[in-house]
Structure 1
Amino acid sequence: MMMTNRKSTLAALLGATALMLPAQVAISDGDSPPLVVEMPRQENTSVGVPPVSAPQGFVISIDGDAIAGDVGVRDVIRRTDVQLAQADVQVVYDGLGGTPRLDLQLLGGPRMYRAGDSLTVQSELNYPAYVERGEIRVVDLAARGGPQVIGVVPISPNGQMTITVPEGGDIALIHRVYDADGRFDATAPIPVTRVDRRANTDGVEEGTDQTALRRIPVYGGAVTVSGDNVPAGATVSALGEQIRPDSSGGFVLQRILPAGDYPVNVQVSGAGQNVDLTRDVDIPASEWFYVAVADLTLGRRTDGATGISETYQEGRLSAYVDGRTENGVEITASVDTGNGDLEDIFSRLQEKDPRQLSLRVDPDSLYPTYGDDSTSFDNTPTSGRVYLRIEREGNFVQFGDFEADLDGGTLVQNDRALYGLQGAYATAETTDEGEARARVMLYAAQPDQLPQRDVFLGTGGSVYFLERQDILSGTATLTAQIRDPDTGRILDTVELQPGVDYDVNYIQGIVTLARPLASTLDSGLIITGSDPDLVLVAQYEYTPTLTDIDGFTYGGRGEVWVTDQFRLGVNAMVDDSGSVDHTAVGIDALWRLNDDTYVVAEFARTEGTGFGSTYSSDGGLVIDPNPVFDELVYDDEARAARTGEALKFDARVGLADLGLTTEGSIGAYFEHRTEGFSSLDYQVLAATGDETLWGIYADVAPSDAFRYTVYADSYENDAGEVDRTIGAEAAVVLSERAILSFGIEHVDIVDPTPSAEQGTRTDIAARFDYALTETLEVYAFGQNSVAVDGLDRNDRYGVGGVYVMENGWSLAGEISDGSDGQGARIIAERDDGAGNTSYLGYELDAGREIDGNTVVGRDRGRYIMGGTRTVSDEVTMFGENSYDAFGRYRSFTSAYGLTYTPSDIWSTTVAFELGSVDDDFENVFDRTAVSFGLRRETENLSLSGRLEYRVEEGDKSGTAIDSETFVIATNATYIISPDARLVFDLNAASTETDDNIALDGEYGELSVGYAYRPTEHDRLNVLARYRYLHDMYGQRVDDTDENGPRQRSHVLSVDASYDLNEHWTLGGKFGYRISETSADETSPFEQNDAVLSAVSLRYHLVHNWDMLVELRNFQTIQAGTSETAALAAAYRHFGNNFKVGVGYNFGSFSDDLTDMSNDEGIFLNIIAKY
């Protein structure tokens, strides 16, 4: 364990100032033959000036300044440099860093378009060489029966197109591009009749990506042409395309090109510019980057406290490779065993740590800055020590972090974020729609976290509180579902896009939607019965604090398109994660003629409890934990008996596909779920037994003036419950302003539960809509129960209207009265298309329930008010307040936020979330959450920070709660001069709680680093650091799982080196620690201050010898001890890839003042590197 610190010191001291020598160097070592070192070189990717005969035809330059060479060649280069400097143009080639991007931009600024408006769109992609054609699909996301494509418009890749916005409820555009084999990539839906909230680029290529589906294999090299300060009026062209600079004269154009030789011509003309440059770029078919290190240390050490000696063997293997073979196979891999006992070097590869991604390089053992402005990027995402991805044309095998992405069927699904093995294969042959003729995906993992699924009924607001806090970052997926409130049947599901439709605060567990989510959806029926529920479904991963996760999960999907219209698929998954034991297998078949005509059939079988879900009707203030599911989880017998099956059938036929000229469609569905069936969305329990649902419908429009719908729905279960509905409705257009609608519905309900409502009822209803003006519509409706047997009457009468104001406001309201009581709904909304939105409303829903409870007292309705406001280019605000007065149950939630961006270099965000519940019974509690963030970016300063605070107290579901969480994370970098840097970091967390959601404890670390690294006269180099560590968890020693010494420490350290000449370097280090330490959580703190000073002399002969002698002195203030020790080591290089060192540590202490272990002795260190 202690050798890690010594070797880190050696690595830093022996390799800090290596000199760069020519490619071939001969070094004489006394009488021995010279050692010749061949340094490998990469081929130049650009063609330079052809060689000419010496002594003319060459030029030597340093930092652009010529110091020798042919005058003619120097003049040519100088003229090119002048032209480049005037236009500030760069041509960069990256063989491995090109990432395909596809986007569709709406030109003209963000706004809300209406039917009949003209809209110009810009296709943007950086891989047109792989694309044959493009198209724009116009989709109505709110069409009856689900999203429908209502038009397809061809567009040239990277071209522009003007379209006319058609009629529809929620129009959006999807951009598709196709390759020569018919495979396609597609963007997510881009809103049109809603404001596109993405940043507007006004046609300037910014490198944004909206790809939702990627099937075109793209590999090659990325050529990027960029420039700044192009004069206004000048035109730029490169790679055969015209480039439009932005308002500041900057531009970026990137294209991914297949292997080959390409002349990259860059032209800047006009406005006094006349640049015409050509750079030849060779994109190789195969390219590799790799590094590998094997480190072996053998030694004998003595414990300074006990005097016991022992031998040890430690080692570490680490490697990284990223490259592509000539036949297009891309390989990315990394491995790091970590340093430790040699006998465990390979067994350590099985270890995984959820923090591994951020702790791959432990920042605590390094200086905050080394003064070289270096950055790092990890393209091997893994929670463990191994990552491997082998990919060719979209087919891949991967070991690391991934999303299960088990889709295709609706009965067996899995979208968990996992660590393990995943593989996918899709044929190059495609259907007419671009679908792979066959594909298969498999995965296997050992998760160390659990999934959570929270379901929220829409509150009319945009803020929702998840059940868990401090969830794993990046694991949340959100969907909006339409559900039948009586049967639970899912009518439609829409996946929401992160950053566009919602944002998640992973520390506090708060979801903020871009638009408010209502609780119900107007079904379009005249009968005002049970309108479909709108629910928000959030799935994410969390690590339980008191439960060990020890299990295995694996699964996969395979599918084949037998014909261009017929697909067969199978899904399977097994998840045995501690308290959860779930197995599911499903098969599905799809026959699809088009979007209007299709048939879907599915069958699934499950064993085990599944994962269940929570439910909340008030945005997460009170969450139903699904106690029936919890009972199953902890009852082994009940869990083992959980086996069930489900059968699902759904069909729809467009009348046009039957040869009829009448517009419309007919459809039917059937679902049967047996007791014990469990999936993400369904839990069939013993309370209901087997469940059966079926329905038929027809939606027909014989003419533009007449439309009718007939339907029948049925639900029944083994508990004897029956719910059947049959009805019909029609709408007649009387004139351009008037519409008359009428309908009839018969309901038959059977419920054997004592005192439950059952019987039959027949309702008739009518509604009259009239447009007084183009901006004002009014309506009146009435319904009457004409035949009732056992059920309550469902009479209701009311009036309403919609008014669209010229200033962008729209007002919708309705009041009614009937047998269930009074009802009212009013909502005012405004969206000016410039970032300002407002909404306020009131809803009184007769007969509603909260968490299954009816009203106690009088229901006074629910109030909602909120909006966003762009005060200026610098200030944006949002806020929302919701108050629910459901009899004795009262809840209040508030959310406020402000973002202040005075310039491109400065931004501040403040947010407040408040919640309160009081039902005078088992829920009386308050919740408060505060967030503050800031960012500042200048040429010399980079600053960012985040502060989160959350408090909950009171009684929740009859249990007292009292929790408080505080988190702060800040960092800053300041460039003092080209030779000096200053870095600041502060991270702290504090949690006090009486539940199992989060651990109690405190941790804080403050770090300030300084680096002096001159670029020219670099003989003197200085690194300095101040660190404050407040660790109440305890430092883990020797990789054990037990908490070790706790401490509160101030540590100051300074490292400096001075080159006496090209071979000899004098170094020094000073460290001072003021510390309070405790052996464990039960021991009292004791003062433990110390001072460390060291001086070293190093000899360095490039690729031959490295030697080090270091003297150290270590003093403990309270104990009054002083110890002086020495470290000596010598390394011999053998070629480019191998060196051997031997050394001796004469002391029993480390040069890391926060390390409280002892170590001394001899060691042999062998290093191989490639």
Structure 2
Amino acid sequence: MTRTLHILTLLLLFGASASAQLQIITPAQDSTVSALTRQVVTAQSASGFDAELYVNGTFAQRKTVRTDGLVDFINVEVPQGPVEFEVRIVNPDGTPAFWEKRTMHILGGPTRIEMGLEKAAVEADGQSTVKGFARVYDQWNYVIPGDLYVTVGADSGSIVTVDADSSRRGIQIPVVNGLAEFEYRAGTGSGVSHVLVQVAQIVEQKEIYLNTPTEPFTLVGLANGSAGLYSAKGDRSQLFDDRSFPDGLTTDGRLAMFARGSIYERYLLTASLDTDRKNRGRYFRELDPDYLYSIYGDNSMLFYDIQTNRNLYIKLERDQTYGLFGDYNTDLTGQEFISYNRTLNGIKAGHQDKQWKVTGFGSLTDRRATQIELRGQGLSGFYDLGFTDITPGTEKVRIETRDRFHSEVLIRVEHKNRFSDYDIDYTQGTIFFKQPVEAVDHAGNPVYIMVSFEAKTGGAMSYIAGGRAEHHYSDQFTVGVTAVTEEQSPTNFTMLGTDMKYSFGAPLSLGGEFARSSTIDGSGLAYKLNAASNPVAGMRLNSYYRRVEAGFTNETQIGGRRELGTIKYGVGGDYVLTSSTKLLSDFYQTHQVNGQGGTNEVRSISAGVEQRIAAGFNGTLKVEDVRYDGTNPDTLQPFLETHSTLGTAKLDYTYTEKLKLSGMHERNLGSSPELTRPNATSLIGEYRVTNDVTLNVQEKFYENGGMMSTVGFSTNVMENTQAYGKYEIGNAIGAYRNQVSIGLKNKIKVTEDVTGYLGYEKTKALGQRVGEAATQDHSAYSAALEYLPKLPLKVATKVEFGENSISDKTNFTFAGDYRFERDFSFIVKYRGANESAKKSASYRDIEHLIAGLAYRPVDENWLNVIGKYEVKVDKNHYIAPFIDYNTSIVSIHAFIEPVQRLEFGLKYAYKASTENSVNFGATTNTNFYLLRGEYDITDDLNAGAEYRLLHQLEAGDRLNGYSIDAGYVVYRNVRLTAGYNFKGYKEQDLVEYALWSRGPFIRLSFKFSEELLGL
């Protein structure tokens, strides 16, 4: 009776409308947007009454209105997406008396990026800039306002916006008020630049057309010729080149020039000619920072506008059209079967506009394309490529992550650059990375190191020609054609293919590729068709069919050999049934020819459901049916035919925003449980320590005995990808071979200048799935510390340990540099590695030490000194007979100007080399001395003298040389030099020279420019 009177009173006080009797205060209004998945709902009503809260129609909490007329529902869990709160005032019998609703949106994760640029084209002058922006949307098309960083980069030019996190690749830009703003600066090469914006795995890109700028024409050159009349004595028949001890009249000359600038208004010409160009066996001559001296002590920089290993380079370009003769990459990389990426020297031309993209190339070469595939080991190296005939400068290194069940699916690719990402030793055929390369990613997918290069053959020159034409009929429809031919004996290699992409918008998109190759061994086809569809709201479908015949050949295709002799097809998708229910399904079939002459057949079909059960509770059910017929991964029997079904049930409970608890059960329902995951129950805990670091704990109990514990951290703060890390403690699991992949690559920012890196990876086969990429059991540990202030001292060090069933490995690296005021600089780099076999006495030690110093006083310039010390050690006891090699080199160069007009140049070098093997040992010690003095008599006349000595200590051999000369500027930029030269070789036991050459010489040098030539 009393409650009835209260309700009547309520009606009198607030009137007849429900909205007046009950009012939701918080959220304040409809369409409120929040990123928090825990909310507070506050309502106003008459005190003493019961109030219930419903979230999207599901009961959440029940409370009583306080005496102040307010009721607070605290810590209300809400799903991402649209949320409807309903507050009800209920009668004593539980029926609602009054109610009110309020809607809001809980932001989801990033699913789409909107990107804009203020200009579509700028001049490639190295100065022009373009402002850009990015907005990030969730799956319900709401703008994410902040608490997010986007990664921005460009394949040419640069992003000049301040980088919020320099430890990550790309430029990190915060989202502020829903907008991430950046600025792009054009480079100096015309063409098309792709500006990319990335959040998580979502990438959006736009093109900027870089037009040819107008540049003043510049030409610089040097021409010289020399002649000498020499008299030689001694036996020259054993000389590799008798010109080193000339006899009679000799002549020599060189013409070198460089030209760059605009011609015929908008055409940009870049050309180089050098009749005595060095390093012809090297492509793309970038400066090796340790080639001559490790440090020079000044701010000079060396870069190349010209890349060629021949005498002539020429390039003519206008906006997005160009033609060149020189070094180039073919860069046909956008497809799979018809990709063709090689480093060549020859001719190349290209054109691109909004509708067409055309490229053609041709070359004469004696190289062959080679590709090496290695699995990561959780270590930086050393990784042995198995080749020592790599053409320097041609290697292309990338890290690939592939789906463990679908090897054709490329999850992630990281292209690596020499010096910044890795070091390669062409002589030893080894590669060493700056960061460890994991064996598997956090989901157990295999990680591969792919190295492509041009291998020396020593054979005759042969031609290569090819090209690609791509036409964009519209934004939805693109067709491309690729053709390549290589001259081979007795039958040429040819490859021809086409590809297409067509989009009907959101409902359907299609993609396909068809290729045919032909070699002396036969021909083969490779083709695929992919379809993606969103037939109704909330549903996504993907399907594919692909076939690669065993006779198909493309040595430059990424992972191509792995796919030979395969037929694969499948379909999968998911459907958001309600706001709390999601259905998933997948089917695939694989047919592949195996090494025993038969085939491996895998068929898998699975179905599952993800369900939000109640506040804080989410469940997953999945059933997978697998058939396998083929080679046995356990090798106990040569072949295996099995059919099994695996059921998985998982329950997640979000206790707080930071703590999540889970339970999972896996059960084999088929006839061969020993060949799938063993029956097991797991308890899992995840605690988010910070926004970037999460602690993971798991205890796994196996039904037939045995258990395994895992403890670790996961982080997403390095390299724009989620790293992973767990430590496992467990006993032997018998015959079970279920792969548990565990690893860690965490970054710890100790101070502003000190950064630490920790790494741990372990893979253990405990129930290997048939049809899944196998990973060798191994462990890897790594730790690194960087101290990188601005000045004067910088230090970085790293230590790694690894082991597998075959060997143990240890790596240690150290690098540091020191600068004293502005005059003295010092740098040191050391890298050492050891690998020891477990089942034999075999081992290999590799060491490399480089130290450099420079004394370049700023206030006084009479003395300048640079020096270098280098040690290389390679003790390889894996080969028979073993080889131990050790070499040390010291080099010092000094420049002295004691008084004005008088200069001295001094150089000293020492090399010690030791090589040992079975019943063999050799040691050599060699000194080299060079002294040259010059005196400027007048501004146009100078005189100089030089002495050289090469001394081999063990044999006592001496190679002496001296010369005197005088030079005179006979005309502007024309210099005439005359002198006398002597060169002699003396053995230890001889009093006189065994071989010598001497005589007068004359040299004429001419420096010219466009101004001097009147251009």
Report if the CA contact (8 A) 1:1074-1:1090 is conserved. Answer: yes
Q: How does 1:407-806 map to 2 (within 5 A)?
A: 407-427=333-353, 430=354, 436-442=355-361, 444=363, 446=365, 448=367, 451-456=370-375, 461=378, 463=380, 465-468=382-385, 472=392, 475-485=395-405, 488-496=406-414, 498=416, 503-507=421-425, 509-513=431-435, 517=438, 519=440, 522=443, 533-541=445-453, 553-574=464-485, 583-593=494-504, 597-607=508-518, 640-641=520-521, 643-655=523-535, 660=536, 662-679=537-554, 680-682=557-559, 690-717=565-592, 719-751=598-630, 756-786=639-669, 788=671, 795-805=679-689
Deviation of residue 815 (structure 1)?
3.2
Alignment partner of 1:164: what SS?
coil
- CA drift of 1:555 comes to 3.5
Match of 1:1076 in 2: 952
2:850 maps to 1:968: yes
What is the root-mean-square deviation of aligned Cα atoms in Å?
Answer: 5.8
Contact 1:483 1:489 in 2 (8 A): yes
Aligned to 1:827, which of 712, 720, 725? 712
> Taking structure 1 as reference, are residues 352 and 684 closer, same or farther at Cα in structure 2, changes over 3 Å only?
closer
Residue aligning to 2:906: 1025
SS in 1 for 2:409: strand
CA distance in 1, matches of 2:503, 2:730: 40
1:452-510 residue CA offsets vs partner (Å, 9 max, x unmatched): 433426x6x5645422399756834324323243xx43223433254799822334622
Counterpart CA distance in 1 for 2:785 and 2:518 is 49
Is structure 2 residue 213 aligned with structure 1 residue 334?
A: no
Q: Separation in 2 of the partners of 1:831 and 1:977?
A: 49
One-letter amino acid of the structure 1 residue matched with residue 626 of structure 2: V
The C-alpha deviation readout for 1:102-157, integer Å capped at 9, x for no partner, is xxxxxxxxxxx99699x9999999986799986545579xxxxxxx999799xxxx
Change in CA separation of 1:311 and 1:1048 when aligned onto 2, cut-off 3 Å: same
CA contact (8 A) 1:1100 1:1107 kept: yes
- Alignment partner, residue 345 of structure 1: none
Q: Counterpart of 2:630 in structure 1: which amino acid?
A: D
Which of the residues 956, 970, 982 maps onto 1:1086?
956
Look up the equivalent residue of 1:412 and give its one-letter code: I
Q: 8 Å contact 1:881–1:894 — kept in the other structure? A: yes
CA distance in 2, matches of 1:932, 1:362: 13
Distance 1:739 1:643, change over 3 A: same
Residue in structure 1 matched with residue 864 of structure 2 by the alignment: 982
Among 316, 327, 344, the alignment partner of 1:390 is 316
Q: Which amino acid aligns with 1:490?
A: E
**Structure 1: which amino acid aligns with 2:601?**
V
- Determine if contact 2:186/2:210 at 8 Å carries over to the other structure: no
Cα distance in 1 for partners of 2:346, 2:731 equals 51
C-alpha contact 1:955 1:961 (8 A) present in aligned 2 = no
Residues 710, 729 of structure 1: 8 Å contact kept: yes
Report if the CA contact (8 A) 1:149-1:595 is conserved: no
Q: Answer yes or no: is the 8 Å Cα contact 2:129–2:185 preserved in 1.
A: no
Cα distance in structure 2, aligned partners of 1:858 and 1:790: 11
Residues in 1 aligned to 2:541 and 2:419: alpha-carbon distance in whole angstroms: 33
Report the CA distance shift for 1:211/1:767 in structure 2 as closer, same or farther (over 3 A).
Answer: farther
Deviations 1:82-102 (A, max 9, x none): xxxxxxxxxxxxxxxxxxxxx
- Is the strand fraction higher in 1 or 2? 2
Deviation at 1:649, TM superposition (A): 0.8
**Letter of the structure 1 residue corresponding to residue 497 of structure 2:** G
Q: Within 2, Cα distance between the matches of 1:186 and 1:337? A: 35
CA 1:1109–1:757: 2 relative to 1, 3 Å: closer
Measure how far apart 1:808 and its partner are.
5.9
Matched residue count: 836
1:288 aligns with 2:217: yes
Describe the shift of the 1:125–1:1027 C-alpha distance in structure 2 as closer, same or farther (beyond 3 A): farther
Deviations 1:1037-1083 (A, max 9, x none): xxxxxxxx997124141413143x55554x34363637127xxxxxx
Q: For 1:376 and 1:301, how far apart are their aligned partners in 2?
A: 38
Indicate whether 1:870 and 2:749 are aligned. Answer: yes
Does residue 1:1158 correspond to 2:1005, yes or no? Answer: no
How many angstroms does 1:643 deviate by? Answer: 3.6
- Point out where structure 1 has 5 or more consecutive residues left out of the alignment: 1-112, 141-147, 154-161, 178-183, 219-255, 260-283, 339-347, 431-435, 523-531, 609-639, 849-854, 1035-1044, 1078-1083, 1124-1147, 1150-1155
User: What is the identity, as a one-letter code, of the residue corresponding to 1:334?
Assistant: S
Q: Hey, what's the Cα distance between the residues in 1 that align with 2:162 and 2:366?
A: 35
Distance 2:188 2:976 in 1: 56
Of 372, 379, 384, the residue aligned with 2:305 is 379
Counterpart-to-counterpart distance in 2, 1:361 and 1:847: 50
Q: 2:893 aligns with which of 981, 996, 1009?
A: 1009
Q: Residue 1053 of structure 1: which of 923, 928, 931 is its match?
A: 931
Distance 1:952 1:583 in 2: 43
* Distance across 2 between alignment mates of 1:481 and 1:1004: 40
Contact 2:980 2:1000 in 1 (8 A): no
Partner amino acid, structure 1, of 2:543: A
Deviation at 1:557, TM superposition (A): 2.3
Which SS does the other structure have where 1:407 is aligned?
coil
Provide the C-alpha distance between the structure 2 equivalents of 1:846 and 1:555, rounded to a whole number of angstroms.
58
Q: 1:1097 and 1:129, CA in 2 relative to 1: closer, same or farther beyond 3 A?
A: closer
The one-letter code of the counterpart of 1:697 is G
Q: Which runs of 5+ in 2 are unaligned?
A: 1-106, 195-208, 237-245, 767-774, 916-922, 1010-1015
Offset, 1:650: 0.7
Contact 2:165 2:171 in 1 (8 A): no
Give 1:377 deviation, angstroms.
Answer: 3.3
How big is the shift at 1:771?
A: 1.1
Match of 2:784 among 874, 897, 901: 897
Alignment of 1:274-313 (within 5 A): 285-297=214-226, 300-305=229-234, 309-313=247-251
Q: Aligned equivalents of 1:212 and 1:1103: distance in 2? A: 33
3-state secondary structure, aligned to 1:533: coil
TM-score scaled by length of structure 2: 0.68
Counterpart of 2:532 in structure 1: which amino acid?
Answer: R
Is contact 2:824-2:856 (8 Å) kept? yes
Change (3 A) 1:596 1:908: farther
Alignment of 1:360-375 (within 5 A): none
Structure 1 position 591, deviation (Å): 0.7
- Are the equivalent residues in 1 in contact too, given 2:931–2:948 (CA < 8 A)? yes
The one-letter amino acid paired with 1:1158 is S
The residue that corresponds to 1:56 in the other structure is none
Partner of 2:82: none
Query: In the superposition, relative to structure 1, how do residues 946 and 861 fare at CA in structure 2: closer, same or farther (>3 Å)?
Result: same
Contact 2:624 2:645 in 1 (8 A): yes
Amino acid paired to 1:1022: E
Of 280, 284, 301, the match for 1:352: 280
Post-superposition shift, 1:724? 1.5
Name the aligned partner's letter for residue 1055 of structure 1.
Answer: G
Q: 8 Å contact 2:874–2:884 — kept in the other structure?
A: yes
Q: Does the CA contact (< 8 Å) of 2:259 and 2:269 recur in 1?
A: yes
CA contact (8 A) 1:172 1:191 kept: no
